[in-house]
Every structure is written in C-alpha cells, then in structure tokens.
Amino acid sequence: MMDRQLTQMVRLVDDLMDVSRISRGKIELKKSRTELAAVLQSAIETSGPLIKEMGHELSIEIPDEPIVLDADFTRLAQVFMNLLNNSAKYSEQNGRISLTVKRNGSGVEISVTDTGIGIASDQLPRIFEMFAQIDKSLEKSQGGLGIGLTLVKKLVEMHGGSIEAQSDGLGKGSEFTVRLPVLAEVWRTQTVHGLESSPTKSLRVLVVDDNRDGANSLSMMLKAMGNETRTAYDGEEGVKMAEEFRPTVVLFDIGLPKLNGYEACRRIRAQSWGKGMVIIAITGWGQDEDRQRSKEAGFDGHLVKPVEFASLTQLLGTLIPMPD
C-alpha cells in the first residue's frame, strides 16, 4: 500500500512540475523523426500493468504503413500513457479500452476510447483545465488532482497538434482524440526514432510472451513496419505456431507458462524446419550467466526488457543477411 501511494505521489509531483515548467516556457522538446507505433508501444508497456490489474480488454487498431512524426519520443509517449491510464482508472473492472490510429490527409488521429464512467456535458468544456475533475460522486479512488489532462493538452499543442474530448454523458464512456501533423515523406535510409537499422525486407515474425499487452503492442509495431506477424502467449502455443507459421524470426520470452522459453527453443531447434530460424530471447534477466544459458539453449540473441525497438532492429540487421 505504501509503495502504491508513494508512486502516486511522485507521479502527481512530476506532473505539477511539468505543467509549471511548460507554463514558464522552461521545457524544450527534443524532436526527431519518430515512428508513431514505437511511441504507442512505449505507452502501452507503461500502462499495461494497470490495465491488466483492472481486468480491461485493450484493442489496438493501427495502419500497416509507418507513420513518422517530428516529435519528442519521451514526451509524446507520456501523452498516450496518461490517456490510457485515465481510461483504466475511470472504468469499472473488466471494461474495454480501444486505441485507434487513422491517417487524415497530412495528419494522423489517435483515439483512446473506453467504456468508463464518462463525462457530463457541462464538464466537457473545462476537462483540460488545471485541477478540473469529474463529478466527485463518481470519482475513482485512484484519481489524481486533475493535472494529467492539462499536461497532455500542453504537450500535444507543443507538437503542433490538438486534443478533443467527447462523451455521451455520465456512465457512457469517453473518447479522447489527439491530432498530430505527419512528416510528408520518409526514406528508409534516414534515421528515425524507433526505426534505426531496420531491415529493408519484410520478415515473418512470431512474438511469444505471456504479457498479452506487451506481445500485442510489439507485434503491432513490427506489423506497422511492413512485417507479417503472429503472437502466442505460452511456450507450447509458441512451438506449435512456429511449426505452422514458419517465421523468419521468433521473439521468445523466457518465463512462460506451460513451457519455458529455454525448452521451447530446444524443441524448435530439434526440428528440421526450426534449425534456420532466428530465435531471440526477450527477458528481464540480463546477467552474463543468463546470456550464456540462452545461448546454450539455442537462442541467436538475447535482449533485456523493456526492449528498445532500435536495439531489436539493429540485432535483426546483424543476424539476418539483407539483399545487396
């Protein structure tokens, strides 16, 4: 309980300081060419534990083609983390949250929709004001001080975008839509945050992880890069899908139910169809002995969670020969 309360207090203080810095013009965005899918994956990974704790179902819809922005990766991820956290906190157990991305001319719309407690019509115009909160009688115990949405609005506007809140009323859920400008043209040879050293050909990638939100978001991001992807959520399912899908690359968590990643890798390597696959361990353990153990089990690479997409694409570029 103390740990939860301390974490909440630190988050509130951080938000207050960020709003203060922005108001005084003390924050400068560190913009670079940034892939939207990588930003969203980072936000989903951060919000995942709360979404899972509340038992919510998270659905993700994103176009296949890469969407590249001129953005501060960390600050933009903070925007969507805040929106996802709000949806999780202000929805009853076992609710539904959807994250939808749509191209709109020279821009992109990212919507976070939930089945939560909604927003009264008279509160919608002031929902982004400092310390504005929803009806006290419906406020969740995990609620904050009404700072997060103010910070979100300011960060979105600093990126040249806008944000809008919609709701049919109390008890009818809410939708927050962020609109951002998109870079007109992106070449694969350019350095893009989230796309560095990306392979130049489409791959068949299998992601195996019992953290469904993590597996789905990583799969989503790889698909947005033009790859064909599949996901599995335990070791036995991973081995079975590897045989059926015959992926170029398998990204395997180690601590899996039914069959751990080490044994799953050994079973795949024992088959004629599995000898040439690139299999990479993705785990929370990164000591030398952990890397040695994964190597002995047949893994080609070893990455420590949370995985930076740049590190993954760089490793794939090293392990998979690209055509001249």
Ordered alpha helix ranges (H), the chain: 2-23, 36-53, 73-89, 148-158, 212-224, 235-245, 261-269, 288-297, 309-319
Q: Which residue has the higher pLDDT, 252 or 190?
A: 252
pLDDT tens readout for residues 84-100: 999 999 898 999 999 99
Residue 106 confidence class, pLDDT cut points 50, 70, 90: confident
What are residue 9's phi and psi, to 5 degrees? -65, -45
Closest by CA to 228, choosing from 252, 253, 209, 247, is 247
Q: Which domains does the chain have, with CATH numbers?
A: 2-181 (3.30.565.10), 204-319 (3.40.50.2300)
Q: How many residues does the chain have?
A: 324
Q: What is the mean pLDDT of residues 63-67?
A: 81
The rounded percent of the chain whose pLDDT value lies above 70 is 79
Find out whether 179 and 130 touch, Cβ atoms under 8 Å.
no
Closest by CA to 151, choosing from 12, 37, 42, 46, is 12
pLDDT of residue 317: 75
pLDDT of residue 286: 80
Whole-angstrom distance, CA of residue 17 vs CA of residue 8: 14
pLDDT tens readout for residues 109-134: 999 999 999 988 888 888 887 555 55
